[in-house]
Amino acid sequence: MDPKDKATHSPARAALLRLVPLALLLGALVALPRFSDMAFLNAMVLVCIAALYAMGYNLLWGQAGLISFGHATYFAFGASCTIMTMAAIERGSSFPTPLLPLAGGAASFLMGLVAGWFATIRTGVYFAMITVAITELVRAIVQRWDTMFGGEAGITSIRMAWGPIGFQKLIDVYYFTLAWTVIGILLLWFLQRSPLGTVIRGIREQEERVRFLGYDTHALKTLVFAISAGVSGMAGGLLAFTNESTNVALYEGAYSTTVLINTVIGGAGVFLGPVVGATLTTLFGYYVANLTYYWLLYMGLLFMVIVVCAPRGISGLGVDAFRRLRSDAPVPWGRIVRQAAGWLAMALGCIMTIELIGAVVQPSYGALARSSGVAWPPVRVFGISWMPASPLTLGGIALLFSFGALMLRDGVVTARRNVAKLAEAIAGKPEPGP
Amino acid sequence: MTSGQGPVLVLEDVAKRFGPIEVLTGINLTLSRGEKRALIGPNGAGKSTLFNLVSGRFAPSSGVIRLGEKRIDGMPAHQLNRMGLSRSFQITQVFGGMSLYENIYMAVMSRHGKRWSLLRSGRVWRDIAEQTRELIDYAQLTSLADRQASTLAYSEQRALEICMTVATGPDLILLDEPTSGMSRVEAANMVAFIGRMTEGRTLLMVEHDMDVVFGLADTISVLSQGQILATGTPAAIRDDPRVQDAYLGGSAH
């Protein structure tokens, strides 16, 4: 690109450059039901919900620099309160069905005000520990309070029609979820761009300075926590609306972890990063869960690789690549090809190892060995039958790992640096003491 | 806001203990309007602690601190700032990820009480933007306004730090070692800069560099072993034998 050309880039053109891909994406999402089957449309509903949840979560992390380990509470509470409102509509309440996610959002916002006030007294690891404690406390209460939250069986209700909209077809649910997700994300974007958003970023960078400029940082952090909880509650409300049921399992720690993983994979530092992560992991589950029993293990590995090698997530990698393209620096094709080959070899090696061990440890494999009389019957991976004990198979795996390690060896230093940085980010800055 | 003709800051018998360690014992200090006071003393004399008590980082163990007529000991820092007391930090605390303009903009926002705003509409936001510009021009930082704060040179970050401290519109300004880590030339420039930025306001500062102290302060208080040893004009302090004994160690002849 001609350097002069870059100098003439106007802000309007830069904005257009950002808006056009987003508009195209939105257009594709709106047109999706015309081309998609029911199963994929269903998966996309879950993608929207996970995306909104992760965006709400990342208001705390990406903007305010607070990493919560207990956001399931607000997601689940939003779901519970939405289903209760749905049940009320069924009984004849005039609450308009299209505003249901707001019921969940408002409930979680209020809960977030109380929880956030306590949690944000401290920062860093202490903040994270308080969020875990609150989550466990709420879970314990909810799981015992069957009359209110329905216990193991949960609460079920049905989506009642509102005016001309029946909300019975999946396509209605899809558009409803998509619309609320977009509204929620726009809300967060608006907040980020507002003067309050600037102050929140200031808190992330130098909280003490913000306080000494006259801002009540504890109150501000409480508000941010509550908004984050509220958006997560909206997402929970959408889940309740989609499933027409909730149960107390939603309050468990796994749902706090999922959103954290989505945010890390997508990247906390880019506004729409969490959407990328949520989309990827949800669709990963949709496709890979059908292929292998060990899909969660693969997701865990992917998470670890991203934490170590690309702590700014996939969107961070994307931003870096985009910047490099726009700068005059030459594209390091050699390194890219080498790393891609290395990762491919590593991935193949991992899949082979996991699938072979996974097949061999199944009780059915032992039964097969006994009945067929062969000590190590063949296992099918990638549509090929492998002899698990053959030196050829094991040697092949060893070769894949060695080749991968050789290709990726110069990444070790970067990886160590990244891990140290991440540890620092989670622990936060040391608090001022006497 | 403080008002009237009385002293801006009064400390009466202020003491601070951290556990068994007595850092400050019975501090009495009065700052009149427009005064520029430097606080000097050997390392460990309690200067930073005194600063932290006045600026609301800690509450004193005993004693009374008044800002104008109001008692402020134990009040949180953000409230003190709204009452007209602003401080800078010895270790630079600017918002590295934001532009210099945004750094000062945030301080001016706070002065106008816009601490929770979602919208940027109305006259007051024009005023905030205008005053931010004016202050940057006055501080002669105009050419750096769009630079990200973390990319500024150290002395420029120190200037920004002072500028932010002034931008909340305080009556009383506390500067914690404003020239620490600077070369002699940079420190001399800083003295002129601080003089211009704090004109007409009351100033209390901790400083090690005697050239800076004698260049900026019209009165000096010497702190030693948690107590105020002497207070007076620079010349009087220079000639005070007790001070020479405790601090200057005969180096100021």
Predicted confidence (pLDDT) per residue in B32-91, tens digit: 999 999 998 888 888 889 999 999 999 999 999 999 889 998 899 999 999 999 999 988
Question: Chain B contacts of A217, Cβ < 8 Å?
Answer: 78
Helix axes A100-119, A124-144, angle to 10 degrees: 130
Long-range pairs for B33-36: beta carbons < 8 A, 24 or more residues apart: B33/B5, B33/B7, B33/B8, B33/B202, B34/B200, B34/B201, B34/B202, B35/B8, B35/B202, B35/B203, B35/B218, B35/B219, B36/B198, B36/B202, B36/B203, B36/B205, B36/B216, B36/B217, B36/B218, B36/B219
B95 touches chain A (CB under 8 A): yes
Question: Chain A contacts of B77, Cβ < 8 Å?
Answer: 211-212
Look at residue A55 and tell me whether its pLDDT is greater than 50: yes
Using 50, 70 and 90 to split pLDDT, how confident is the model at B250? very low
Separation between Cα atoms, residue A126 and residue B40, nearest integer Å: 37
Which member of B58, B102, B110 has the closest CB to residue A215? Answer: B110
Identity (one letter) of the amino acid at A239? L
Q: How many CB pairs under 8 A join A and B?
A: 80
Look at residue A412 and tell me whether its pLDDT is greater than 70: yes
Q: List C-alpha distances in Å: A274 to A69, A197, A232, A316, A424.
A: 16, 18, 13, 11, 21
Identity (one letter) of the amino acid at A361? V
Inter-chain contact A214–B81, Cβ cutoff 8 Å?
Answer: yes
Separation between Cα atoms, residue A178 and residue A45, nearest integer Å: 7
Which member of A213, A217, A220 has the closest CB to residue B106? Answer: A213
Going by the DSSP 8-state scheme, the letter that residue B150 receives in this structure is G
Using 50, 70 and 90 to split pLDDT, how confident is the model at A8? very low
Query: Looking at residue B196, what is its pLDDT?
Result: 92
Query: Looking at residue A352, what is its pLDDT?
Result: 85
Range from A407-411, B81-85, B123-127, B164-168 carrying the lowest mean pLDDT:
A407-411
Q: Which residue has the higher pLDDT, A84 or A124?
A: A84
Separation between Cα atoms, residue A269 and residue A392, nearest integer Å: 45
Residue B207 and residue B177 in contact, taking contact as beta carbons nearer than 8 Å: yes
Per-residue pLDDT tens for B132-189? 999 999 999 999 999 999 999 999 999 999 999 999 999 999 999 999 889 889 999 9
Separation between Cα atoms, residue A48 and residue A61, nearest integer Å: 20
B173 touches chain A (CB under 8 A): no
Inter-chain contact B114–A195, Cβ cutoff 8 Å?
Answer: yes
Question: Chain A contacts of B114, Cβ < 8 Å?
Answer: 195
Spatial CB neighbours of A327, under 8 Å, sequence gap ≥ 6:
none
B78 touches chain A (CB under 8 A): yes
Question: Chain B contacts of A209, Cβ < 8 Å?
Answer: 89, 93-95, 164
A→B interface, C-beta within 8 Å: 190-191, 194-196, 198-199, 201-202, 205-206, 208-217, 220, 223, 432, 434
The whole-angstrom distance between A210's CA and the closest CA on chain B is 8
Predicted TM-score of the model (pTM)? 0.88
Long-range pairs for A110-115: beta carbons < 8 A, 24 or more residues apart: A110/A226, A111/A73, A111/A74, A111/A77, A111/A229, A111/A233, A112/A74, A112/A225, A112/A226, A112/A227, A112/A228, A112/A229, A112/A230, A112/A233, A113/A222, A113/A223, A113/A225, A113/A226, A115/A73, A115/A74, A115/A225, A115/A229
Inter-chain contact B95–A206, Cβ cutoff 8 Å?
Answer: yes
B157 touches chain A (CB under 8 A): no
Probe site for chain A from B54, B78, B146, B150 (most A CB atoms < 10 A): B78
The whole-angstrom distance between B162's CA and the closest CA on chain A is 12
Query: Looking at residue A146, what is its pLDDT?
Result: 83
Q: Which residue has the higher pLDDT, A110 or A372?
A: A110
Per-residue pLDDT tens for B41-53? 888 888 889 999 9
Look at residue B244 and tell me whether its pLDDT is greater than 90: no
B57 touches chain A (CB under 8 A): yes
Percent of chain A as helix, strand, coil, to the nearest 5? 75, 5, 20
- Give the residue from chain A lying closest to B150, CA to CA: A205
B164 touches chain A (CB under 8 A): yes
Q: Which residue has the higher pLDDT, A94 or A43?
A: A43
Structure tokens at B168: 């909340």
What order of strands is seen across the sheet that includes strand B172-176?
A: B85-87, B172-176, B202-206, B36-40, B219-224, B227-232
The whole-angstrom distance between B13's CA and the closest CA on chain A is 20
Q: Which residue has the higher pLDDT, A64 or A368?
A: A64
Look at residue A375 and tell me whether its pLDDT is greater than 80: no
Look at residue A279 and tell me whether its pLDDT is greater than 60: yes
Compute, in degrees rounded to 10, the torsion defined by CA atoms A221, A222, A228, A234. -160
Which member of A196, A217, A434 has the closest CB to residue B118? Answer: A196
Which member of B18, B78, B96 has the closest CB to residue A215? Answer: B78
Bridge pairing between strands B62-67 and B9-18: antiparallel
Separation between Cα atoms, residue A228 and residue A210, nearest integer Å: 21
Q: What is the ipTM of this complex?
A: 0.90
Which member of B18, B94, B120 has the closest CB to residue A434? Answer: B18
The whole-angstrom distance between B241's CA and the closest CA on chain A is 33
Probe site for chain B from A209, A216, A224 (most B CB atoms < 10 A): A209
Percent of chain A with pLDDT over 70: 95
Inter-chain contact A211–B77, Cβ cutoff 8 Å?
Answer: yes
Mean pLDDT of chain B: 89
Q: Distance from first CA to last CA of chain A, Å, rounded?
A: 55
> Judging by beta carbons within 10 Å of its beta carbon (0-12, 13-18, 19+), is residue A416 exposed, middle or buried?
exposed
Q: Which CATH superfamily is domain B9-248 in?
A: P-loop containing nucleotide triphosphate hydrolases (3.40.50.300)
Look at residue A3 and tell me whether its pLDDT is greater than 70: no
Percent of chain B with pLDDT over 90: 61
Separation between Cα atoms, residue A140 and residue A378, nearest integer Å: 47
- Give the residue from chain A lying closest to B118, CA to CA: A194
Range from A196-205, A361-370, B129-138 carrying the lowest mean pLDDT:
A361-370
Overall average pLDDT of the B115-139 stretch: 91
Look at residue A64 and tell me whether its pLDDT is greater than 50: yes
- Give the residue from chain A lying closest to B48, CA to CA: A434
Query: Looking at residue B101, what is its pLDDT?
Result: 94
Where exactly are the structural domains of chain B? 9-248
Residue B93 and residue B148 in contact, taking contact as beta carbons nearer than 8 Å: no
Query: Looking at residue B253, what is its pLDDT?
Result: 40
Inter-chain contact A434–B58, Cβ cutoff 8 Å?
Answer: yes
Write down how long chain B is.
253
Query: Looking at residue A39, what is its pLDDT?
Result: 86
The whole-angstrom distance between B245's CA and the closest CA on chain A is 29
- CB burial readout A44-62, b (16+ within 10 A) else e: bbbbbbbbbbbbbbbbbbb
B94 touches chain A (CB under 8 A): yes
Give the B window 184-243 contacts with A, CB below 8 Å: none
Going by the DSSP 8-state scheme, the letter that residue A433 receives in this structure is -
Look at residue A2 and tell me whether its pLDDT is greater than 60: no
Q: Which residue has the higher pLDDT, A149 or B144?
A: B144
Mean pLDDT of chain A: 86
Query: Looking at residue A430, what is its pLDDT?
Result: 47
Query: Looking at residue B242, what is its pLDDT?
Result: 82
The whole-angstrom distance between A270's CA and the closest CA on chain B is 14
Query: Looking at residue A9, what is its pLDDT?
Result: 55
B124 touches chain A (CB under 8 A): no
Separation between Cα atoms, residue A208 and residue A221, nearest integer Å: 13
Per-residue pLDDT tens for A310-342? 888 899 888 888 888 888 778 788 888 888 888
Which member of A194, A206, A213 has the closest CB to residue B117? Answer: A194
Per-residue pLDDT tens for A231-246? 999 999 999 999 988 9
